[in-house]
Amino acid sequence: MALHWSGGLAVAVAAALAVSTLFPAGAAGHPPLPVPGPLIPQFYEHTCPQMLEVVGAIVAKEHAKDPRMAASLLRLHFHDCFVQGCDASVLLDADGSGRFTTEKRSNPNRDSLRGYEVIDEIKAALEHACPHTVSCADIAAVAARDSTVLTGGPGWEVPLGRRDSLTASLSGSNNLIPAPNDTLPTITAKFRNQGLDVVDLVALSGAHTIGDSRCVSFRQRLYSQNNDGRPDPTLNPAYAAKLRGRCPRSGGDQILFALDPATQFRFDNQYYKNILAMNGLLNSDEVLLTQSHETMELVKSYAASNELFFDHFAKSMVKMGNISPLTGQNGEIRKNCRRVNHF
């Protein structure tokens, strides 16, 4: 769905309503969900039927103000699901009790993960409309889907019914989330640990078609990939020279670079075309081409077919969103996504 934002908030809200129309909460008369039960798209049909509309409107509004926000919300969901499952643990601030350390201070999240305020805004609106009903984990999942659609990507029905965790895991965040400099076997193992396969790995990596990365995340590719003082031979020399112009050998860690400079704010398969041209920004991008025949063939297939990429990405997002959810009486429905209800 191609969108134009010159019309401001009214257009953004209209777009969000289109999203909620494409993916409705469910047909009237659907029987109440047994508790505990599986994740289903119709989970809030009776208890908060406006849930999708509220999430969509606020995501569209924030995307209109900041085009980077779509990628941020997509990444937020990813970083949540890879630690303790999709349970909104990534949203918890330190509570002062010493029971856990916030995941916001982990190496993958510190100074880079964002979108917390958007989740807060959505949660406040839903607490007003449907008090103590919609989980922060479900908000994050729907916001990720809406962000994908708003940037031109595929849509999917989001299974719902997750509950929120009572704790967070700094060590899990540090160790379980794939890192930009990981080898392909390490990345594959981290995905397999979550029940995700190689197709999921390559398809979900395509989220790098939007968003940015920091200089610190790929600097070694420009100056000393193998600790030999030489740039990464799998990086296009012309692209490397351009990157060195803004990413110095030292300093400038937080300088941002588009993961896909060709279509920075459009969700498409250009990411895979970049990899084939040796223009993948991160080491974890380019190894999909250089370290495995299986992943290489998937990169080629997605580069050749936007439709295939969209189909696989949507299915893999649903699969990722089903990682170890808390359901039934497990966890809680937080009133504030940044803290648990009771110690």
Annotated binding site: 80, 83, 85, 87, 89, 103, 178, 208-209, 260, 263, 268
Beta bridge partners of 40: 160
Q: Which two tokens stand for residue 160?
A: 């719902």
Q: Other C-beta atoms within 10 Å of 15: how many?
A: 24
DSSP 227: S
Of 125, 138, 105, 117, the C-alpha closest to 25 is 138
Q: How many CA atoms lie within 13 A of 236 on its CB side?
A: 13
Tally of residues, the chain: 343
Binding positions for substrate: 178
Whole-angstrom Cα distance, residue 188 to residue 182?
Answer: 10
Residue 342 annotated in active site: no
Beta bridge partners of 163: 326
Of 121, 126, 125, the C-alpha closest to 65 is 121
Residue 132's Cβ-count burial label (10 Å; 0-12, 13-18, 19+) is: exposed
Q: How far is CA 128 from CA 93, 134, 335, in A?
A: 22, 11, 11
Choose, from 63, 77, 79, 312, the residue flagged as catalytic. 79
Determine contact, residues 259/213, Cβ cutoff 8 Å: yes
Write out the H or E segment, with its range, that includes residue 320.
Answer: helix 306-321
Active-site annotation, residues: 79
